[in-house]
Amino acid sequence: MKITIELPDELIQSTQITETELLREIAIALFEQERITLGRASLLCNMNQIAFQKLLASRNIPVHYDLEDYEADLQSIQAEGW
């Protein structure tokens, strides 16, 4: 699915926001609300995960990582033979 958003020119001019900045703000908001994962958020704004994590850190937004995530990572590592 592809979504196209049309914004009034005066809104864009008054906020002076670029498409890239807007995508980042959407990705941050969705991630912060736990509606998308870190991986999907970084893809949405065309950043690698480390760069996106640094962006989150610069805004004091924690990366969601709970016991379930830890256990999934642990199983993945063990399956890889680590």
- Cα-Cα-Cα-Cα torsion 7, 18, 54, 29, nearest 10 degrees, comes to -10
Question: Is position 49 within any domain?
Answer: yes
**pLDDT profile of the chain (82 residues), mean per 10:** 87 88 95 89 91 95 81 81 79
Question: Is position 4 within any domain?
Answer: no
Give the model's pLDDT for residue 24: 96
Give the model's pLDDT for residue 66: 75
If we measure between CA atoms, which residue out of 32, 35, 36 comes closest to residue 63?
32
Q: pTM for the full model? A: 0.74
Give the model's pLDDT for residue 21: 93
Give the model's pLDDT for residue 71: 82
Give the model's pLDDT for residue 36: 87
Give the model's pLDDT for residue 64: 79
Give the range of the structural domain holding residue 59, as residue numbers without chain letter: 9-79
Instruction: Tally the domains of the chain.
Output: 1
